[in-house]
Amino acid sequence: MQIGVRFRCYPTPEQARTLARWIGCQRFIYNAKVSEDRYFRRFVRKSLQHTGQAVPIDQRYRQFKTELTPWLSEVPSVVLRNGAVRWRQAYSRYCVRLGARPALHKRHGRQSVWLTSEMFRFQPIRDTRTGETLGHQRHLGTKKYPVGDLVFTAHRDYQLPASIHINVHAGQWTVSFNYDDNRPEPTEEETATWLRTFSEDALRQRTVGLDRGVVIPLAGSDGQQFGFSAAQQRHLAQYETRKKRWQRRQARRTQGSARWVKARRRVARYQRTHAAIRQDVAHQTSHALAVDPRYKLYVFEALKVPNMTARAKPKQDEHGRWLKNGAAAQSGLNKAILASAWGSTKTDLQYKARRLGKLLITVPAAYSSQECAQCGHVHQGNRVSQARFVCSRCGHAAHADHNAAQVLAWRGVRAVLDGTSVPPTPKRCRITRITVGAEGSEPRTEASSTPGEITVRRGDGDITARGSQTLEDTPTTRP
C-alpha cells in the first residue's frame, strides 16, 4: 500500500532562495499551460488562423522560454518540465471526472515544487564499525545547479522515494513524499463482504457510531468524546486574539510596504498554527479510533459540510432594509463547524481504517437526533435541550450526542447486512439515438435517456427498438 510522509526541513537562506525560485518558475509554467488551454478553447472556433487545429493537450513548455522570460533559463529544465507534467496530470484527472479543469495557481498560500529523481539523491550514512544504516544524507540539485544537503527531521522510518515535494507555507518548510511498502491493502468491497459474515449482534459489538457536533466535535456510541484539550483551546484563543490584532495593523499600513509585509506574514503564521492544531487533533482522534481493537466498522452521518458552511444570503425586512443579524449568526456557525475539523477527521480515519482492514461508511442523518436508540421512537420533543435526550415513549434518558451516535451505529449495521453500505460501481454504457433524414443520407447518433432503447427517426414516423432487437428487424411504420 502507498504510505505518505511529511517531514519538517530546514534549508539555509541560500537554499531557501534557490527553492523559492524553482517554485516560482514551476508555477509559471503550470499557469502558462492553463492560459494556453483557455486561449485555444476560446478562439479555436472563432479565429480563422486556428481553423482545423486541435486544442493542445501535451507537456510542451519550450514555447514559453523567450526573451521576455530570461529567468526560466536560470533553473534546471527538469523543474520546468515537471510543471508541464503537473498540468497534464491535472487535465487527465479532469478528463476522467476526478476533478475540475486545471486553474491558475496563486502566489499566496502553500507553495510547492515537485522534484523527480534527477534532482536529488539519498546517500545512506553507515556506522563504520557495524555497517548499520544510521540515516540518509539528502543532496539536492545537479552538477550545474547545486543546492547542497537538505536537513530535515524524520520522526518515523521511511523508504527511498522516486520523487519528492518541497513545500513552504508561512515561512515553514516541509518535504513530503510517498512510497510503497509492498503490503496488500484490502478494498472496501472486500471488507464489507467479510463483515457480512457476522451476525447482527456480533457486528453491533464491533461497530461504533460517531456523531459530529459543534460543542462536542466527535461523540462515540460507547460514551467516548473527542475534541480539543484545554491547553489547545487556550492556545487557539490566544492566537486568534493576536491574529486579529495584526490584521488591524495590516489594514492601517500602506499596502506593499515593508511593515505591511511584516504584518501579513504574522497573520499567515497564526493561521498556519490554527491549521496545525486542527490537523493534530484530527490525526490523534483518527489514530485512537483506528487502532482500537474493539471496532471493525465506523459509522458517520452523511453530512454535506460544504453546503452547511456556505455563506448566508442577506435578507431584507418589509421596508427593504438589509438585515445583518441572520448573516452574522450563520457566519459564526460556519466558523465553529470549520474549526471542529469534521471533514479532516473523517478523511484521516477512512484511510487509516482501510489500511487495517476496517470499514468506514456513512448513513443518512435524517432524524438521528430525535430517534430513541432503545425503542426507535422519533419525536422532536425527545430532544429536551442541546445536551439532553429523554424519550417520550420509553423514558430512555442519555446524552443527546451519544444517543444519536448509537442510532447511527444501528443504521450502519443494517446497511452493511443489507449490502447497501458500499455503493455499487455504476455501469457505463453508451445508448444512442439514430436519426435518419432524407433518403440516402447517413444516420446521425444522438444520446438517449432511456436505457436499452434505440429510436430511429424517419420521414414517415418514429420507430422504437428495445432490448436486443436490431434495426433491420424493425418495421418501417408504427403499429
Write the pLDDT tens digit of every residue in 323-346. 666 566 667 778 888 888 888 999
Both 41 and 130 in one domain: the answer is yes
- Domain C-terminal end among 399, 418, 437: 418
Domain, as residue range, for 456: 429-479
Per the domain annotation, does 69 fall within a domain?
A: yes
- List of E strands, 202-250: 207-212, 218-220, 225-226
Cα angle 459-461-467, degrees, rounded to a multiple of 5: 120
Evaluate if residue 253 carries a pLDDT over 50.
Answer: yes
Asked if pLDDT for residue 13 goes beyond 90, the answer is yes
Contact 446, 433 (CB under 8 A): yes
| 399 plus 436 within the same structural domain | no
51 located within any domain = yes
Buried residues in 2-16 as b, exposed as e (16+ CB within 10 A): eeebeeebebeeebe
pLDDT-wise least confident of 170-179, 204-213, 275-284, 443-452: 443-452
Q: Does 316 share its domain with 454?
A: no
Note the pLDDT tens digit of each residue in 195-223: 999 999 999 999 999 998 888 889 999 88
Q: Considering the chain, what is the average pLDDT of its residues?
A: 83
Residue 406 lies in a domain: yes
In the block, residue with C-alpha cell 534527477: 118
Q: Is there a single domain that holds both residue 14 and residue 146?
A: yes
Q: Would you say residue 19 lies in a domain?
A: yes
Q: Could you tell me if 138 and 160 are in contact, meaning their C-beta atoms sit under 8 angstroms apart?
A: no
Tens digits of residue pLDDT in 110-134: 999 999 999 998 877 776 677 666 6
Residue the block writes with cell 474493539: 294
pLDDT of residue 320: 75
For residues 270 and 166, give the distance between their C-alpha atoms in angstroms, rounded to a whole number: 21
Task: Give the largest Cα separation in the chain, rounded.
Answer: 94
Please write the tens of the pLDDT for every residue from 31-84.
999 999 998 888 776 776 666 677 788 899 999 999 999 999 999 999 999 999
Is the per-residue pLDDT at 274 higher than 80?
yes
Amino acid at site 174: T
Q: Are residues 408 and 469 in the same domain?
A: no
pLDDT score recorded for residue 462: 43
Is the predicted pLDDT of residue 430 greater than 80, yes or no?
A: no
DSSP conformation letters of 15-31? HHHHHHHHHHHHHHHHH
Average pLDDT for residues 280-285, to the nearest whole number? 93
pLDDT at 474 > cutoff 80: no
Whether the CB-CB separation of 148 and 128 falls below 8 Å is answered with no
pLDDT value for 158: 87
Q: Which of 217-231, 245-259, 456-470 has the lowest mean pLDDT?
A: 456-470
- Could you tell me if residue 470 is inside a domain? yes
Q: What is the pLDDT of residue 350?
A: 92
Weakest mean pLDDT among 366-370, 412-416, 461-465: 461-465
**Residue 280: inside a domain, yes or no?**
no
Q: Are residues 22 and 152 in the same domain?
A: yes
d(CA 2, CA 180): 5
**Average pLDDT rounded to a whole number, residues 431-435:** 50
Give yes or no: residues 150 and 200 share one domain: no
For residue 254, being part of any structural domain is answered with no
Decide: 431 and 419 in contact? Cβ < 8 Å.
no
Last residue of a domain, one of 129, 147, 180: 180
Q: Which of 36, 30, 40, 31 is nearest to 84 (CA)?
A: 30
Number of domains in the chain: 3
Q: Which residues pair with 117 in a beta bridge?
A: none
Closest CA to 451 of 425, 471, 432, 472: 432
Coil, strand or helix at 320 = coil
Both 171 and 64 in one domain: the answer is yes
Give domain status of residue 302, yes or no: yes
- One domain, residues 317 and 455: no
Contact 377, 393 (CB under 8 A): yes
Split at pLDDT 50, 70, 90, the class of 473 is very low
Cβ distance 85 to 59 under 8 Å?
yes
Count of CB atoms situated within 10 Å of the CB of 467: 7
Given a cut of 50, whether residue 407 has pLDDT beyond it is yes
User: Which of these three, 156, 180, 204, is where a domain ends?
Assistant: 180
pLDDT at res. 443? 45
Average pLDDT rounded to a whole number, residues 348-356: 91
Q: Which residue is listed with cell 467479510?
A: 194
Scan for cell 453508451, then name that residue.
430
Alpha-carbon distance of 313 to 310, in angstroms, equals: 9
> What is the pLDDT at residue 255?
92
Residue 387 is predicted with a pLDDT of 87
Pair (88, 198) in one structural domain: no
On whether the CB atoms of residues 404 and 225 are closer than 8 A, the answer is no
Do residues 341 and 458 share a domain? no
- State the pLDDT confidence band at 319, using cuts at 50, 70 and 90: confident
At 447, list the grid cell.
444520446
Judged by average pLDDT, the poorest of 60-64, 184-188, 320-324, 427-431 is 427-431
Regarding whether 107 and 26 lie in a shared domain, the answer is yes
